[in-house]
Amino acid sequence: MDELNEYGEQVGGIGMAMALYYGPYMLMLFEMTNMIVAVLALLFTFGLLRRTGELTALLAAGISHGRIVRPMLIAAMLVIVGAAINREFVLPNWQDQLGLKVPSADGGGELRPLLPVYDRVTGILVNGKGLQLAKQQVVEPALKIHALAPGFGNQLNARLAKWIPRGKQHPGGPDYPAGYVLSGVSQPAGVDSLNSFQMADSTMLLTARDTPWLAAGEVFVASRVEIDFLQSGSAWMRMANTGDLIRRVSNPAVYCSADVAVTLHDRWLRPCLDYSLIILSLSLVVGRGQRNMFVVTGYATGLVLLFFGLRTLFHMMGGNGYLLDPATAAWLPLLILTPAAYARYRVVRIS
């Protein structure tokens, strides 16, 4: 609360501070619980109809179970679509703030932990003191050079490293590769007197001596290790969109674990898996005489635990390379649950 009070003084009050802090976390909470809430809502709605006797009246009027549950299934589909939109287009915009204890009013100057990543194309290990993701820069970078670069030695130390993607916004032009502009270079000494270095006809290290768009004390290091790849921990996978995961898997410069590949396949299959759980949950209420809400809730909890347990088991096997490859690990839960869900839906439509 002390930190929120201090932040509130910067943004206009404690109410605004709490909204800016907890607002993005509500999006994360929705991502984590949307399917459980949808299942419970469906079960409680159908259970309430049964308990109050309204279901009996509807069935007596000749309305089938399938017609009764159809609006509920449409509502559940809307929740699934909303969760997919939140996962792909909303959460990635807040991933920097969601990794912080308290938001900042200084434009993203918080220092976050950095995971060293080796660039397998250029032979450079990207390391440093920490990350400022909002500013797309590494604080106190220390780049280990494994290739033979005359005059540069085996390490580059600087004050800051700014990530520059390839494209029209590149200061050198769209033909230049992506990489980092190191400013305040302290090692090697006298870097402005060194010539630029190329390896296999590809740009690797550029200095201010023969690169007009670099200022004194700056060095451009070509690298395909994007700054997002330097985030430590696995939380970034949960907040990354499908495009980010594809770039990580298809990037030849960085090592990609099987866990990332499983997450990518799961991202494509997630809506189908979620809807399979919704259909399976119908078996808890349709055709059963159980009217006790607490018993229905217990059944739903067991079904959800079984669903996520099966999914987690296959993901762990695929991520660790145990018996399953990433694609198979992601598809197996769908191959198991979809036939059962379809069979249950046929029963609902007939009954």
Sorted by where each begins, the domain ranges of the chain are: 2-97+266-350, 117-231
Asked if the model's pLDDT at residue 147 lies above 80, the reply is no
Give the per-residue pLDDT at 8: 82
The string of pLDDT tens digits covering residues 265-306 is 999 999 999 999 988 887 777 755 555 677 777 877 888 888
* Mean pLDDT, residues 55-83: 89
What would you measure as the largest C-alpha separation in the chain, in angstroms? 91
Written in H, E and C, the secondary structure of the chain is CHHHHHHHHHHCCHHHHHHHHHHHHHHHHHHHHHHHHHHHHHHHHHHHHHHCCHHHHHHHCCCCHHHHHHHHHHHHHHHHHHHHHHHHHHHHHHHHHHCCCCCCCCCCCCCECECCEEECCCCEEECEEEEEHHHCEEEEEEEEECCCCCCCCCEEECCEEEEECCCCCCCCCCCCCCEEEEECCCECCCHHHCCCEEECCEEEEEECCCCCCCCCCCEEEECCCCHHHHECCCHHHHHCCHHHHHHHHHCCCCCCCHHHHHHHHHHHHHHHHHHHHHHHHHHHCCCCCCCCHHHHHHHHHHHHHHHHHHHHHHHHHHHCCCCCCHHHHHHHHHHHHHHHHHHHHHHHHHC
Cα–Cα distance, 284 to 335 (Å, whole number): 21
Flag whether pLDDT at 160 surpasses 70.
Answer: yes
For the whole prediction, is pTM greater than 0.85? no
In the predicted model, is pLDDT for residue 232 greater than 80?
no
**Is the Cβ–Cβ distance between 256 and 148 less than 8 Å?**
no
Judged by average pLDDT, the poorest of 32-36, 262-266, 278-282, 318-322 is: 278-282
Binning pLDDT at 50, 70 and 90, where does residue 144 land? very high
pLDDT of residue 150: 82
Contact 67, 350 (CB under 8 A): no
**Where residue 313 falls among pLDDT bands split at 50, 70, 90?**
very high
d(CA 83, CA 249): 23
> Does pLDDT of 345 surpass 80?
no
Instruction: For residue range 7-29, list pLDDT tens digits in order.
Output: 788 888 888 888 888 888 898 89
Mean pLDDT confidence for 318-329: 91
* Of residues 74, 66, 55, the one with CA closest to residue 275: 74
Percentage of the residues of the chain whose pLDDT score is greater than 70: 92
- What pLDDT, on the 0 to 100 scale, is given for residue 164? 95
